[in-house]
Each structure stands twice: as C-alpha cells, then as structure tokens.
Chains A and B, each alone.
Chain A
C-alpha cells in the first residue's frame, strides 16, 4: 500500500474493517495528511493520526474549534450548522464550560456508582433471556440492550418507549449504511422525532419532577441560568446517540476481539481479576468512535505543516490507539496491558462525559458472559456497519452451551 492509495473518507474502505494498514502508513510517512473529499461534501481535510497530536488538538479548543464547523467531516449548510451548535459536543469554551459544569453534575462518580445495582440486575436479566437458547445474535440480543436501558433509566424514558429511541438512534448514526436508510433525510427526520420526544419528556418532568437526570437537569443552574428547552432537547439527542452506539459497539467489538484471540479469551476466563485491564484493552483495540473534526481558528503549524484559519483537521482515535510511539507492540491484543493510556474516550475539553458509566456497563456484561457463557463461539459471519465514523458491528451470530435463567 502507498500513500496514493489511502482514502479515509470513502466508507467503502471501512466495510472490511478499520483501515489499520493505511493508518500505519500515515503515522509513519504522513502524520498530517491531506485527504480529499467529494465536492458535494465540502472541502478536504488534514487527517491526524499520531497520538501526541490528537491529544494536543483535543486540549486546545481555542486553536482547534468544535463550534466553527461542528465535529462532523461533512460541511453543513448554515442553518444545519446552527442547529448542531445547540449540542455541547459542538460548542467551545466559555459556552461549553458552562454546559459541561451543569450536566456533569449528573455524571459524577457517585451518580454513576448509584446506577451500578440497576446495571448489574439488568445485565443478569438480559443474559437470562438468551442463555437457555444456546445461540443468539450477540449484537441485538446482548450488546444493544444494556446501553439502551441505561440511557432510558438515566434520563427517565419509560421502558415501553425505549425501542423507539433505539430505532431513531440507529437511523441517526447509520446514514452511510443502506440497511438503516441511507439518506440524510431519514437522519434528519429521526433527529426531529427524538427532539419532539425529548420535549414531551421535559414537559412532564417540569410538572412532575423525579430523581432522574432529566429532573436534575431541569432544576439545575449555572451562574443563575437554567437549561433552556432547546438545551435540554439537544442534550437528550446527544445522549441517545453518544451513549448508545458507542457502548454497544464496544461490547460487540470487544467480544469479537476475544473470540479472535482465543489465548487471550482463555487468559481472561482463567483469571477474572484481569477484567479491568481487559476492558481498557478492548477500548483501545475497538475504539468505537473513529473520528471527530475540528476547525482551525488561526494560522498555525503542526509537524511543519502550515494550517490556515478555516482549515479542517480530523483526529482519528483508532490510529492514535495503535501508535507505536505510545503502545509497545500495538497490533497485539493483550488483556493484561499496563499501562494503557488509550484515548478511546477522547481527552481534554470534550472528554467523554459517560466514560465511567460506559466502563461500568462493559464490566457488568463481560463479568456475566465470562461466568455464564464460557464456551461462547462464532456461529456465523460477522457483519460490519458501513461507516467511517463508527466502528460498528450489525450482526454477530454466536452459540454456547445452554444454561437456565438464574434471576427470579
């Protein structure tokens, strides 16, 4: 493979897997690489593939803005751009800092730990539904369920509505994959539906507050200001997307990695105390989020490359997580890897708000799977999501020795 063969933008090049060979080449030969984009989608961008650069850019929002051109590669029409800026992911300080302070009250270690019993119980129930069957689709039947229920719990979506939210979030993220409805229109419609749903939910909680995150957010204040209706709806939309697909794909992708590395899978089963480092290694290995974009706010330089105000840079998490300068033997999946300072959750200004929650969910699932499905194996081909944004798996048939449900 040569530099001239690299095309990180074309989703076709992500069907078989993350293009790690291209990333290796870029890290070695062109760590600030100019990538063209089809004209209809706007200007090209600089692809950033080194760990150190990803960290520096994420920590410097005044030079590398999430607000100016949003965090998606595709350039948006002005009106759409303005809409995306109501989401904190697409804000810069000082506005971002204010929002972050308000909503982070719902994600402190204590708030997260308080969800643990519920997460454990839900996980046991999810496994109860499949263990007697001896086979299932790991994605739909196991990985997808927990993140959905946790978000639903977090924001107080009634259980009977959660599959609506599931469907909308699929449509939002999967716009590059024909199976989920390949048009931007479908995505916009789904966003509008989530938006309306959030609006109703907030209305209910304002009238009838409970002890869920929605109520906390509706009542919370920063500098004497409350979240507006628009703010709330945007945050809900962000959670429905950011907390769902990512965690689901980490769980599916992590399971896949274990099955493809039988020695590591066995090592983990033999020594469950490796669960924590194993989860971190799955995060490094899978990197569910492939990229985010920043827009340069002033002329600057990166590794000798001049960047001009208005230029787009795109930071690639899976590449940073296999950077030879940071991780010894990066292409080796090692459930005991320490230290493991991966950046699957980003870093700096927008460091994943749900990182601890996601870890809790992932640990709960694998804890149960190790104990109750130790002979789990592939039972059919793994089907991947066609996307340059999310490292996703659509379907992963597995089989195992059936065992009875355990919960009452």
Chain B
C-alpha cells in the first residue's frame, strides 16, 4: 500500500490526522506530513477511512 497526497488540493485541515494519526500529521507550519508513505497493512482500514473522509479528496492509495 502506497499513499499519495495531492498537495495542490490538501488544505491542511487535519481531518486525516484525526482518523489515522499513525500516518498523517499536520504540523504548526500548516503542512501535512506523512510518517510513512507505505504504512503497514494493519493500518489499511484507517487509511481508507482517511481517504474517504478527506473533504478535499487529496489522498489516494496505490496497492
């Protein structure tokens, strides 16, 4: 599983971080950071929830 963020669409509102803090982190500089682009399979459900919940459709996942 590989996470791709479209930083042109991301507005750093940190909704993904609330869903899956293991992977997504919005820092004080108003930017989104990924702790890893290829998280463990055990996080798949949470990551997919973040994909769905991101209001800006900025996250996608490649298998």
The answer on a CB contact under 8 Å between B55 and A347 is yes
* A345: chain B residues within 8 A (beta carbon): 55
* B9: chain A residues within 8 A (beta carbon): 97
| 22 A–B pairs (Cβ distance < 8 Å), ordered by A | A59-B57, A97-B8, A97-B9, A101-B8, A104-B11, A107-B11, A108-B11, A108-B30, A109-B13, A109-B14, A109-B26, A109-B30, A110-B28, A110-B29, A341-B53, A345-B55, A348-B55, A348-B56, A348-B57, A349-B57, A351-B55, A351-B56
Indicate whether B12 reaches chain A with its CB closer than 8 angstroms: yes
* B8: chain A residues within 8 A (beta carbon): 97, 101
A 323-359 contacts with B by CB, 8 A: 341, 345-349, 351, 355-356
* CA of A107 to CA of B55, assembled, Å: 15
* B57: chain A residues within 8 A (beta carbon): 59, 348-349
A residues adjacent to B (C-beta < 8 A): 59, 97, 101, 104, 107-110, 341, 345-349, 351, 355-356
B residues adjacent to A (C-beta < 8 A): 8-9, 11-14, 26, 28-30, 53, 55-57
* CA of A101 to CA of B8, assembled, Å: 8
* CA of A345 to CA of B29, assembled, Å: 24
Question: Closest residue of chain B to A353, judged by CB?
Answer: B11
User: Shortest Cβ distance from B59 into chain A, in angstroms?
Assistant: 13
User: Shortest Cβ distance from A105 into chain B, in angstroms?
Assistant: 9
The answer on a CB contact under 8 Å between A109 and B55 is no
* B53: chain A residues within 8 A (beta carbon): 341
User: Shortest Cβ distance from A360 into chain B, in angstroms?
Assistant: 13
User: Shortest Cβ distance from B19 into chain A, in angstroms?
Assistant: 10
* CA of A290 to CA of B3, assembled, Å: 35
